[in-house]
């Protein structure tokens, strides 16, 4: 009678744990804080939340049962792969379960002639390419986290990488997805056969940020390894000329295997860190890669060199050996850790803009650096206009973090204003959910909710991510009005 | 002037939608009716998109073209060709007046599909009018965009049963510098293995087809890309198997006749239907008498037959795929398409699909029965 009732969350936790325990091994169900703390955030460490519990099933049947239990008890689920995501998509919910597919690590089948590999969602992106290398094949999408990120996470985010322009995104390289609906029913999207019947739900499922169903098996398309690849490093004394060179290459009818751009703050940070051989006196450098047969690569490299010279490149260097090619790329691939070396923290943005707006956006970012009194270095997939500005800040200084967040939103909303999008490949997650209110109107968001509820009527799968509610957008709108004026008043919103 | 006209067209579309909603009617969206034979027989009042026409934006260096639904496909392809660019999925016309809207709604692709990707892979964004008359914009004009669900890619292949497509942005690619077509005499089973073996090597294969009877037929391989690469690959293939090369004119007309189904293979005898089998490419030959035409490395197979729908579906399932009665007399009460309900692993998605349609079109005005 006089005993104090346990807090409601603890009751909920007890209820969930006792419902899941009968079919999960002891080490496959975690709820003590010391066990669940590694799951409190994903690659976006600024956003943290402890979950109610974490489940690590090993079989599809266990996933089915977990979904049925959560559906019955109305417990929200946050799916998790390797936890490398950069938008907080796998950030837990206080009253929810984290459902990790880390134990789904089997490569089920490789068919070198059909060029397919059937893998479980916990298989690392790079592990697929490693496993099929003996057949001279590889899996094309290569997000910079490919050494650690899982294919299940790639499916949820529609991940890209540096070779997307030529080889496509996850969407273009995943043939079928086997998944489990919240009801516990097993389904398949897409297929090894082309053009699956019905509406194209495969396209909607890929990139749905864990909000529609749980992935349990992914047959991917494999691509023959090009015989040779070479990369040109081109220097420019002006960012505008570098941006124009990107457009000129495409206009010349060339689709480079990779086309990356880095500004001077980025090349300087990287050069100190990995000694990639970058021209640190250039205002910007471009990396242009060609791959294919030796004859094809020779032809394309000489064409691209001519275009780059005509566009005003001050210096060109073509990789002469595979080692040198990898050295050139090592700088680009280490840009994020290099930012980490020169600043206590960095905040990575992911907007995409039409290529012709590259120099415009870079100039605007320059202005924002003084406005928010923070430094920013820029690396981007120039070939597809996908920018990764890295805002440098000190997380120990709360005011700096708040300014970094504001700086980030400003960049994203500028991307929308320039005809682009707030996220090219990292996903919306929790991080960019407010910016979704700027990119989409109420009608579009209404349809997004309709899609969500068609799969998940009770909104239990990764709720509160990716698609903002009407209320959230209304609140964001009020918050963003400063001095009686919205930033970017020209954008129609709400 | 054009802006004025397009605004008027949009208003007319909205009026038609409101009228249908108020009267419990249905709207059968059409372009030039070049593909009206495809799909199930729709019910409803025809609404033509032809008044809503024109290229809205084309920046060759952005590799994107945006056009209104009623724009003739030929106009778009001509504009692209002037800048030496193309739709790499090689959409079939099935009639000179085919529109962009019809192309997207049917979602069909031609010989380039196996290597380049499907039509929906190239769709970057779409403006639609939903079943309540709202104009909504999804996706965009950039190559990479993961903000929100990829709703614009739901439109391709939806046969006008989900929403009214207004504007669509599609990725384009440069035309290859060189193209050569080789023919090899091979039986079907060997041809299937051979083309997939070549496809698993770094060769610039851009299309494949095999036409013949099981034990005897011709395999066609199109190589396209940089001059030097096509040249080297031509030599390599011919060293492996003796083959002949088509002249550039022959090759162009052969692939076009396949795409448009004007090749003599596609002539149907009385009582025959043209069945499209979309199957696991590496599954063995379909065991039927008569001629077969294979495309897309064996993933798409054409069969002329008087078989029943259930026979076709059973055969397709055996080959890991599905079948469509592409051309021929429709059977009342039977869909030409395979239904989600036909496969236990897609059956639960039938209810999801129903809900999806309701999200776009709560009154069901676009649900004309053109597809299940």
Strand arrangement of the beta sheet that strand B135-139 belongs to: B55-59, B64-68, B164-171, B123-129, B135-139
- Looking at the fold, whether B265 and B132 belong to one and the same domain comes out as no
Q: How far apart are CA B135 and CA B140, in angstroms?
A: 15
- Looking at the fold, whether B142 and B215 belong to one and the same domain comes out as no
Please give the domain boundaries of chain A with CATH numbers for all domains: 8-100 (3.30.43.10), 107-224 (3.30.465.10), 228-337 (3.30.70.3450), 345-353+366-376+393-480 (no CATH)
> Does residue B337 fall inside a structural domain?
no
Averaged pLDDT for residues A28-33: 97
pLDDT score at A486:
47
CB-based contact, A272 to chain B, within 8 Å? no
CB-based contact, B55 to chain A, within 8 Å? no
Averaged pLDDT for residues A437-459: 96
pLDDT, tens digit (0-9, with 9 covering 90-100), for A174-184: 999 999 999 99
pLDDT score at A219:
97
> Does residue B351 fall inside a structural domain?
no
Terminal CA-CA length for chain B: 40
Smallest CA–CA distance from B64 into chain A, residue: A354
Identify the CATH number of the domain in which residue B73 sits. Answer: 3.30.465.10
pLDDT score at A214:
98
CB contact under 8 A, B113 and A194: yes
pLDDT score at A489:
46
Closest C-alpha among A412, A407, A449, A406 to residue A428: A412
Token pair in block for residue A76: 């929200």
Q: How far apart are CA A230 and CA A293, in angstroms?
A: 11
Ramachandran region, residue B79 (left: φ > 0; alpha: ψ -120 to 50; beta: rest): alpha
CB pairs under 8 A between A and B: 284
> Does residue B350 fall inside a structural domain?
no
Strand arrangement of the beta sheet that strand A29-30 belongs to: A29-30, A53-55, A97-100, A77-80
Distance from CA of B225 to the nearest CA of A (A): 8
CB contact under 8 A, B353 and A299: no
- Looking at the fold, whether B42 and B123 belong to one and the same domain comes out as yes
- Looking at the fold, whether B299 and B241 belong to one and the same domain comes out as yes
Cβ distance A17 to A57 under 8 Å?
no
pLDDT confidence tier of residue A359, bands split at 50, 70 and 90: confident
Mean pLDDT rounded to a whole number for chain B: 96
pLDDT score at A293:
87
Q: Of B174, B190, B222, which one is at a domain's C-terminal end? A: B174
* Nearby residues of A23 by Cβ (< 8 Å), 6 or more positions away: A62, A65
CB-based contact, A228 to chain B, within 8 Å? no
Averaged pLDDT for residues B304-320: 96
Phi, psi of A345 (to 5 degrees): -140, 160
Token pair in block for residue A252: 């010349």
Averaged pLDDT for residues B247-263: 98
Q: How far apart are CA B266 and CA B129, in angstroms?
A: 37
On the question of pLDDT at A493 being above 60, the answer is: no
Which of B108, B134, B144 is the best substitution to test chain A (most A C-beta atoms within 10 A)? B144
* Nearby residues of B331 by Cβ (< 8 Å), 6 or more positions away: B309, B325
CB contact under 8 A, B142 and A384: yes
> Does residue B13 fall inside a structural domain?
yes
Residues in chain B with CB shorter than 8 Å from the CB of A198 are 339-340, 346, 349-350, 353, 372
The H or E element containing residue B181 is strand B178-185
Q: Which residues pair with B244 in a beta bridge?
A: B183
pLDDT, tens digit (0-9, with 9 covering 90-100), for B54-113: 999 999 999 999 999 999 999 999 999 999 999 999 999 999 999 999 999 999 999 999
Cβ distance B192 to B149 under 8 Å?
no
On the question of pLDDT at A488 being above 90, the answer is: no
Cβ distance A204 to A238 under 8 Å?
no
pLDDT confidence tier of residue B10, bands split at 50, 70 and 90: very high
Whole-Å CA distances, A158 to A142, A166, A174: 11, 16, 10
Which of A67, A141, A293 is the best substitution to test chain B (most B C-beta atoms within 10 A)? A293
> Does residue B20 fall inside a structural domain?
yes
- Looking at the fold, whether B18 and B164 belong to one and the same domain comes out as yes
pLDDT confidence tier of residue A480, bands split at 50, 70 and 90: low
- Looking at the fold, whether B129 and B256 belong to one and the same domain comes out as no
- Domain hosting residue B185, numbered range: 178-327
- Looking at the fold, whether B220 and B128 belong to one and the same domain comes out as no
Number of domains in chain B: 2
- Looking at the fold, whether B96 and B11 belong to one and the same domain comes out as yes
- Looking at the fold, whether B162 and B252 belong to one and the same domain comes out as no
Share of chain A above pLDDT 90, in %: 85
Cβ distance A351 to A387 under 8 Å?
yes
Q: How far apart are CA A218 and CA A107, in angstroms?
A: 10
> Does residue B231 fall inside a structural domain?
yes
CB-based contact, B46 to chain A, within 8 Å? no
Give the DSSP per-residue string, B303-364: EEE---HHHHHHHHHHTTSEEEEEESPPPTT--SSPPGGGSTTTTHHHHHHHHHHHHH-TT-
- Looking at the fold, whether B230 and B165 belong to one and the same domain comes out as no
Strand arrangement of the beta sheet that strand A176-180 belongs to: A107-111, A116-119, A214-221, A176-180, A186-190
- Position with higher pLDDT, A481 vs A29: A29
> Does residue B343 fall inside a structural domain?
no
Whole-Å CA distances, A271 to A203, A261, A328, B17, B193: 40, 15, 10, 60, 48
- Looking at the fold, whether B12 and B119 belong to one and the same domain comes out as yes
pLDDT, tens digit (0-9, with 9 covering 90-100), for A389-426: 999 999 899 999 999 999 999 999 999 999 999 999 99
Token pair in block for residue B160: 């006008």
Q: How many CB atoms lie within 10 A of CB A142?
A: 21
Chain B stretch 106-125, residues whose beta carbon is closer than 8 A to a beta carbon of chain A: 107, 113, 117-118, 120-121
- Looking at the fold, whether B118 and B101 belong to one and the same domain comes out as yes
Read off the pTM. 0.95
Q: How far apart are CA A59 and CA A24, in angstroms?
A: 10
* Nearby residues of B171 by Cβ (< 8 Å), 6 or more positions away: B63, B64, B122, B123, B124, B143
pLDDT score at A491:
46
> Does residue B318 fall inside a structural domain?
yes
Q: Where are the alpha helices (DSSP H) in A432-483?
A: 436-439, 442-455, 470-480
Residue listed under structure tokens 């249908």: B20
The H or E element containing residue B105 is helix B100-106
pLDDT score at A494:
36
Cβ distance A158 to A210 under 8 Å?
no
| Burial bucket for residue B33 (CB in 10 Å: 0-12, 13-18, 19+) | middle
Averaged pLDDT for residues B299-303: 98
């Amino acid at each position: 009678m006089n005993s104090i009732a346990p807090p409601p969350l603890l009751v909920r936790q007890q209820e969930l744990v006792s419902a899941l325990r009968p079919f999960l091994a002891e080490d496959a169900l975690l709820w003590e804080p010391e066990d669940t703390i590694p799951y409190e955030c994903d690659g976006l460490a600024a956003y943290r939340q402890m979950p109610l519990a974490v489940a690590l099933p090993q079989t599809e049947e266990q996933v089915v049962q977990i979904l049925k239990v959560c559906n019955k008890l109305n417990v929200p689920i946050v799916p998790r792969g390797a936890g490398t995501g950069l938008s907080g998509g796998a950030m837990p919910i206080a009253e929810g379960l984290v459902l990790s597919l880390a134990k789904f690590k089997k490569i089920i089948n490789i068919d070198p002639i059909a060029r397919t590999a059937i893998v479980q969602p916990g298989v690392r992106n790079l592990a697929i390419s490693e496993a099929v290398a003996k057949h001279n094949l590889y899996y094309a999408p290569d997000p910079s986290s490919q050494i650690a990120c899982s294919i299940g996470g790639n499916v949820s985010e529609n991940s890209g990488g540096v070779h997307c322009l030529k080889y496509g995104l996850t969407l273009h390289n995943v043939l079928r997805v086997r998944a489990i609906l919240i009801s516990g029913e097993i389904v398949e999207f897409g297929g090894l056969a082309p053009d699956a019947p019905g509406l194209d739900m495969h396209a909607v499922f890929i990139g749905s940020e864990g909000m529609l169903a749980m992935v349990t098996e992914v047959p991917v398309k494999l691509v023959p390894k090009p015989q040779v690849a070479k990369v040109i490093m081109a220097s420019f004394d002006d960012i505008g000329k570098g941006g124009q060179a990107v457009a000129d290459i495409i206009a010349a009818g060339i689709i480079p295997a990779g086309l990356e751009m880095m500004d001077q703050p980025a090349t300087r940070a990287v050069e100190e860190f990995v000694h990639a051989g970058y021209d640190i006196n250039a205002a910007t450098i471009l990396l242009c890669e060609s791959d294919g047969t030796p004859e094809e690569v020779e032809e394309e490299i000489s064409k691209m060199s001519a275009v780059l010279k005509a566009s005003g490149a001050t210096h060109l260097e073509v990789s002469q050996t595979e080692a040198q090619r990898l050295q050139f790329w090592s700088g680009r691939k280490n840009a994020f850790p290099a930012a980490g070396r020169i600043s206590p923290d960095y905040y990575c943005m992911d907007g995409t803009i039409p290529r012709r707006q590259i120099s415009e956006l870079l100039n605007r970012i320059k202005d924002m650096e003084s406005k928010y009194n923070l430094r920013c270095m820029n690396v981007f997939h120039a070939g597809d206009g996908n920018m990764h500005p890295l805002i440098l800040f000190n997380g120990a200084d709360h005011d700096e973090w708040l300014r970094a967040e504001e700086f980030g939103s400003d960049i994203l909303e500028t991307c929308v204003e320039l005809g682009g999008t707030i996220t090219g490949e990292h996903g919306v997650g929790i991080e960019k959910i407010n910016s979704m209110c700027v990119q989409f109107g109420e009608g579009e968001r209404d349809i997004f909710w309709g899609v969500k509820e068609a799969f998940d009527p009770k909104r239990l799968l990764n709720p509160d991510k990716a698609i903002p509610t009407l209320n959230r957008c209304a609140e964001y709108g009020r918050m963003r009005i400063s001095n009686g004026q919205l930033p970017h008043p020209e954008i129609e919103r709400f | 002037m054009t802006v004025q006209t397009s605004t008027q067209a949009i208003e007319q579309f909205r009026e038609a939608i409101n009228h249908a909603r108020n009267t419990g009617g249905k709207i059968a969206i059409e372009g030039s009716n070049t593909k009206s034979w495809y799909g199930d027989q729709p019910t409803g009042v025809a609404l033509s998109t032809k008044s809503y026409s024109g290229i809205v934006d084309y920046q060759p260096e952005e590799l994107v073209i945006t056009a209104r639904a009623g724009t003739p496909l030929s106009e778009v392809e001509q504009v692209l060709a002037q800048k030496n660019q193309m739709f790499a999925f090689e959409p079939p016309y099935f009639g000179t007046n085919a529109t962009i809207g019809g192309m997207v709604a049917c979602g069909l692709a031609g010989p380039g599909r196996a290597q380049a990707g499907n039509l929906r892979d190239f769709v970057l964004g779409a403006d639609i009018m939903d079943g309540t008359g709202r104009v909504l914009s999804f996706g965009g004009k950039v190559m990479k965009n993961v903000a929100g669900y990829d709703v614009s890619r739901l439109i391709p292949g939806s046969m006008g049963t989900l929403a009214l497509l207004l504007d669509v942005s599609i990725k384009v690619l440069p035309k290859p510098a060189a193209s050569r077509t080789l023919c090899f005499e091979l039986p079907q089973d060997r041809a299937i293995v051979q083309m997939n073996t070549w496809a698993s090597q770094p060769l610039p294969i851009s299309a494949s087809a095999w036409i013949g009877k099981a034990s005897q037929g011709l395999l066609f391989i199109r190589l396209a890309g940089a001059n030097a690469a096509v040249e080297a690959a031509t030599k390599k293939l011919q060293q492996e198997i003796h083959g002949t090369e088509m002249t550039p004119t022959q090759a162009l007309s052969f692939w076009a006749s396949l795409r448009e189904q004007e090749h003599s293979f596609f002539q149907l005898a009385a009582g025959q239907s043209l069945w499209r089998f979309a199957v696991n490419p590496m599954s063995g030959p379909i065991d039927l008498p008569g001629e077969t035409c294979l495309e897309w490395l064996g993933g798409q197979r054409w069969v002329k037959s008087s078989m029943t729908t259930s026979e076709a579906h059973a055969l397709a399932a055996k080959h890991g795929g599905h079948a469509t009665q592409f051309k021929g007399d429709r059977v009342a009460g039977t869909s030409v398409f395979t239904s989600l309900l036909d496969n236990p692993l897609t059956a639960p998605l039938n209810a999801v699909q129903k809900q999806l349609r309701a999200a776009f079109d709560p009154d069901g005005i676009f649900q004309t029965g053109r597809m299940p």
